[in-house]
Chain A
Amino acid sequence: MTIVDEGAAQDAGRVDLSPTVSDEVKFTTCYMCACRCGIKVHLRDGELRYIEGNRNHPVNRGVLCAKGSAGIMQHHSPARLSQPLLRVGERGSGEFKAIGWDEAMDLATSWLDPIRKEDPRKLAFFTGRDQSQALTGWWASQFGTPNHAAHGGFCSVNMAAAGLYSIGGSFWEFGEPDWDHCRYFMMFGVAEDHDSNPIKTGLANLKERGAKYVAVNPVRTGYAAIADEWLAVTPGSDGLLVLALVHELLRAGKVDLDYLARYTNAPWLVIEDPGADDDGLFARDGDGHPLCWDSSQNAAVNAMDSGISPSLKDRVTLPDGRAAVPVFHLLAERYLDGQYGPDAVADQTGISAATIRRIAGELAHAAFAEEVVLDVPWTDWAGRRHEQMIGRPVAIHAMRGISAHANGFQTCRALHLLQMLLGSIDVPGGFRFKAPFPKPAPPGLRPAGKPGDVVPGQPLGGPPLGFPQGPEDLLVEANGAPCRIDHAFSWEAPMSAHGMMHTVIANAWRGDPYPIDTLFMYMANMAWNSSMNTTDAMTMLTDKDPDSGEYKIPHIIYSDAFFSETVAYADLILPDTTYLERWDCISMLDRPISSADGPADAIRQPVLTPNRDVRPFQDVLLDLGARLGLPGLVDETGAARYPGGYPDYIANHERSPGVGSLAGWRGTDGGSHGKGEANPDQLARYVENECFWRDELAPGQRYFKHANKDYLEYAVKMGFIGAAEPVVLQLYTEALQRFRLAARGVGEQQPPQQHRKRIERFFDPLPIWYPPSAVDGTAAEDYPLHAISQRPAAMYHSWGSQNAWLRQIHTANRLYISERVAREQDIEDDGWAYLESRHGRIKAQVRVMAGVNDHTVWTWNAIGKRSGAWNLAADAPEAEKGFLLNHLIEDLLPPNQHGERLANADPITGQAAWFDLRVRITKAPVGVKASEPAFTALPLPPGLAPRPAILRYGARFASKKSKGGNT
């Protein structure tokens, strides 16, 4: 019988206060979402002991979210694939046999080689959540196929493209609010999968400093929960809300005229000559410079000159006698019209007119009465020195919530318009660019893939993605038909800068515009949550040609680390490693981890060696390219140019002279940053530096980057931009007008008749708002509710259910409905409901909540899983209770009057219009409490570890002193 003494003696020796933490520490970059935080991985006896944020890392500075902290379980998931697989049963049956890598690579080569030699377009190569687009896009060009994109087209291209065309940068990973100086922050539809840790830290900073934070979101969760004010906007109407704010500011004259005159195309003269070929384009001088009206000289001058006095108002007569008007005058005429007044938009937006007026007042107050002045001298593009940096401290951030709509491009442009009117772009307290941005607006890169660009056996001659400026840049045949399998850069979606991955399966199945041979996908769960109209996607992947008996898509190669739903639909599986087992680069050529105060990039290094027969996908891609003899991937002798695989490529590949994947420690001595010769030792330098590189801008370079001489010269030196010229922010996007002119019958490249009305209506060079139903034709009376989804903080797309810890948080998802809808339909909390769209019907379990727009229902994204997938039990709640909204969403709209089925997408960029979904809801009768639709359970492919009945991770680390009770 033990009697423990009282007093301090009781504490002594009972607990080991300094137990061993780890015997090895390695730094790398997290890959649980797209934030790319730096992590410190503790190992003990070669096993993962603890993953924490790296406090020296510029992105997260030591913090780490739930996903990053669950990396151990991501790595140890029994859903990991362990060897290449070859399909032996019917596609979709999930029957595979394990094969070796040699056989797998030979097979892949045997499929792709004839394609390359006959018609490279027959390879459709699309990637999903990966972060190696600099490599994959280049590889596709080397192969010669234009049929490549990553997933931006159905993720957030509207937001990216609107920004890049308007301000030479964008939200997302290319810009951030000035967290330290902002006084007023508006966040539109931002979820927690991009830049999430910096945003969280930044929000805490705002709250501490008493800055006001307004969340514009139909749902009040996550970030919106801590907002000082929540505006429950109706989905798809944000653009109208923004333009009403613009209306108010213009009415009150609360716009930053100086900023507009100096940094934007507000003074540029727009030709007003209806019927002329250049009606609505900028008036230009003989050298192609845009013109503006100098109010001192009372004449038209080169708008790019310094020392001029540009006028923002009044119509003028050009030297050629025609009428022209400054952009600002045009936009004022438009937005001062009553249709943009707060009273006119209140119903549509769900925000009261009084609130809109007050918010406009607050924006004006923050911008003009709470200027931020930094005593930091800087030099502008014309060489003039300014003693202070003065900013209007209003910051705005936006993401998929405004992007995933058929009006998302124009909505995001409206946001940038608001920012420009307030003079808040790249100023203290405002929105700030992150290197390598700003870049010229509009961007200069054009997509390759026109007829003639595709030559069998030859590289494409340019990148597969780019930024069309007019009809001449489109990838269309002479008759206006699309050149690409996803119809990107065609008249259906002329400015589809990120491609349209979501249309590939349907188009390939239909053979529209032509059949393909091989669909090659990486990390894209197209047979489940990464498709709209999931059920049909699954059918199309397994559909056969009735005459030949062959699959309509003959070959499908898929690479992933885990057994996702799409695995069952592939013919050849190339298993990837987990993020802790690979080299990787987070590149300036793709989406780096820069902050507004300086560029940064990073790598991943292998922390563990794979214990199964898997290979990093990038190694596989380079190997495949070498086997195919792709020019960039083999040397003069035909041997692999990068025999060391991806790390070899990262360090030694130069995209252009001196510019490679990583900017740090270039040059043979590792002493150059930005540009420099390839340094074979580069990765070792990164590893020494905790796997990241950063450079810090001098104080005088940090703001007004678009017009800051010191910054622009720095950007040239670093290889971000070609010339140290200012980036003029574009209120008026001329490219849109060029497409419109073509629709009116101007020029050689004109849209087919059936596209003319659309282009006329939607391609307005100034931001407009139209209801999504103008594109998809849904009748609000039939489907009165909006249905949207959000990414949860603790899961990233479908990548969380195979994680034993994260799945406990989101084992199943609910359909969240407002109290009003619950009352009207007599649906109780925990009850079941049918949700019906024009396209389909699902059944789901309900949660009633107060913090949601009255007319909106929503759920967490991608929680619902197919039974058996991800090596979960067949009756896992993810399958039986979880559900996807995807089944309700059309990938193609119903046939229009021309009998065509256009994509359910933004007409300008082709962005998949996920959040335009309209539904109606009814109470489901008491019955089987399971979600619908349900699908047959997928069998496990060979090589997956069996599911344990209990996990005791860490038991081996229990100290001898305290055996943890489990011995």
Chain B
Amino acid sequence: MTSLPKEAPLKRLGLVIDLDTCVGCHACAVSCKEWNTTGYHAPLPDSDPYGKDVDGVWLNRVHGYETDPELGGRTVYFPRSCLHCEDAPCVTVCPTGASYKRTEDGIVLVDQDICIGCKLCSWACPYGAREFDTDGGVMKKCTLCIDRIYNENLEEVDRQPACVSACPTKARHFGDFNDPASAVSQLTAERGGVELMPELGLKPTNRYLPPRPGATMGDGASLQDAPGADDGFLSWIDRVLSR
């Protein structure tokens, strides 16, 4: 049903992505590709894979940006994937019900068996979360690893999205935003996690943590000369040392 769930989902699962520690290594993007091409969205094709116009379906992309030099200037790496919006337009525009938001946990999925490949959902998503598999004729997107997070064939500690497990800088966190004690809720509160393009009113679930203000050390002053600088070379070495 592409109507959004009438009641708010019991759980609001999503990701927190930390732009303060993301170094742009693409671990999340490739582990996602790897998991999903053999998983829920098997396959995620790559056309012309060894040629000029290589074009693959990915569910998570990591961009690199530079910000305004006048305001300090940074290099920022930005992983982009589905934000599992509360008011997901990609769900309501779908004519077949293939694109739907789960009532249990708010995850937005594409049902591969009924998608007709009209692409309207990808037009509706301002975040570019959906990529079309031209070969298969259906739309694909982040599943929040629906096939991992409840998977009883995995140990509990592994029941996380692949991207979260893979990230070497702990820049990705997974959890229930309805639970104030969850890591995602606490990080959002402590670090001021933001929505992307809030002006569109889509109420994205995922939050991005802005870079922390830089750590400092000391008071920024230059060092003073060692005491007794006028009393001879290295006069400040004035005690007996021992070995």
Contact = CB atoms under 8 A, between A and B. Distances in A.
A308 B27 CA distance: 54
Interface in B120-140: 133, 135-138
A21 B151 contact: yes
B236 A253 contact: yes
A870 to B, nearest CB: 8
B29 interface: yes
B168 A966 contact: no
Contact of B23 (A260, A358, A793): A793
A6 interface: yes
Contacts of B167: 63
B165 interface: yes
Nearest to A15: B146
A354 B222 CA distance: 8
B215 A19 contact: no
A134 interface: no
A793 B225 contact: no
Nearest to B28: A66
B56 A804 contact: yes
A224 B33 CA distance: 26
B214 interface: yes
A67 B69 CA distance: 32
A306 B243 contact: yes
B76 A6 contact: no
Interface string B35-65: 1011111111111111110111010000010
Given A21-B154, A69-B27, A257-B237, A877 B52 contact: yes
Contacts of B243: 261-262, 267, 303, 305-310
A694 interface: no
B211 to A, nearest CB: 8
A183 B100 CA distance: 48
Given A18-B153, A212-B217, A953 B37 contact: yes
Nearest to A848: B66
B3 interface: yes
A64 B166 contact: yes
Contacts of A898: none
Nearest to A807: B54
Contacts, number: 360
Contacts of A258: 241-242
A4 B99 CA distance: 12
A965 B112 contact: yes
A4 B113 contact: no
Contacts of B215: 207, 210-213, 228
A390 B183 CA distance: 34
B168 to A, nearest CB: 4
B109 interface: yes
B50 A69 contact: no
B225 A952 contact: no
- The listed residue with most A CB atoms (<10 A of its CB), out of B30, B168, B241, is B168
Contacts of A965: 112-113, 115, 117, 133, 136-138
Interface string A526-570: 000000000000000000000000000000000000000000000
A954 interface: yes
A958 B23 contact: no
A957 B38 contact: yes
A637 interface: no
Given A204-B171, A251-B226, A362-B217, A66 B26 contact: yes
Interface in B151-188: 151-154, 157, 162, 165-171
A16 interface: yes
Contacts of A957: 38-39, 42
Contacts of B151: 17-19, 21
A126 B233 CA distance: 51
A479 B45 CA distance: 64
A851 B241 contact: no
B1 A962 contact: no
A422 interface: no
Interface stretch (A48-56, A576-584, A668-676): A48-56
Contacts of B64: 221
Secondary structure of the B side of the interface? loop
B223 A252 contact: yes
Nearest to B68: A850
Contact of A17 (B150, B226, B240): B150
Nearest to A44: B38
Interface in A42-85: 44, 49-53, 55, 60, 62-70, 72, 78
Interface stretch (A87-95, A102-110, A275-283, A942-950): A942-950
Nearest to B111: A14
B109 to A, nearest CB: 7
Contacts of B136: 964-966
A364 interface: yes
B24 A793 contact: yes
B217 A226 contact: no
Interface residues on B, range: 35 or more
A204 B242 CA distance: 39
Nearest to A201: B168
A950 B163 CA distance: 25
A212 B216 contact: yes
Contact of A18 (B50, B104, B150): B150
- The listed residue with most A CB atoms (<10 A of its CB), out of B49, B138, B146, B169, is B49
Nearest to B46: A951
A69 B21 CA distance: 20
Given A201-B170, A224-B75, A226-B20, A369 B66 contact: no
A643 to B, nearest CB: 38
A254 interface: yes
A332 B233 contact: yes
A10 interface: yes
A714 interface: no
A258 B89 CA distance: 67
Given A66-B26, A207-B20, A850-B69, A8 B104 contact: yes
Contacts of A65: 25-27, 166, 168
Interface stretch (A192-200, A454-462, A905-913): A192-200
Given A18-B152, A200-B25, A200-B168, A312 B237 contact: yes
B241 A229 contact: no
B44 to A, nearest CB: 7
A212 to B, nearest CB: 4
B220 A204 contact: no
A225 interface: yes
B198 interface: no
A872 B50 contact: yes
Contacts of B166: 52-53, 63-65, 69
Contacts of A286: none
A809 B26 contact: yes
A313 interface: yes
A287 interface: no
A68 B165 CA distance: 13
A432 B240 CA distance: 28
Contacts of B20: 207, 226
Interface string A840-863: 000000000111000000000000
Contacts of A60: 168
Given A19-B151, A65-B166, A253-B237, 13 more contacts: A5-B1, A15-B40, A21-B151, A67-B30, A204-B169, A225-B76, A257-B237, A260-B241, A876-B50, A953-B43, A954-B42, A957-B39, A965-B138
12 contacts: A4-B1, A19-B40, A200-B169, A295-B241, A310-B241, A312-B241, A361-B222, A793-B25, A802-B50, A851-B74, A950-B46, A964-B136
Interface of A: 2, 4-8, 10-11, 14-21, 44, 49-53, 55, 60, 62-70, 72, 78, 183-184, 192, 196-197, 200-201, 203-204, 207, 210-213, 220-226, 228-229, 248-249, 251-254, 257-258, 260-262, 267, 295-296, 303, 305-314, 329, 332-333, 354, 357-358, 360-362, 364-366, 369-370, 793-794, 802, 804-809, 811, 849-851, 871-873, 875-877, 880, 947-959, 961-966
Listed from nearest, the 5 A-B pairs whose CB atoms lie closest are A253-B226, A365-B218, A965-B138, A252-B223, A954-B38
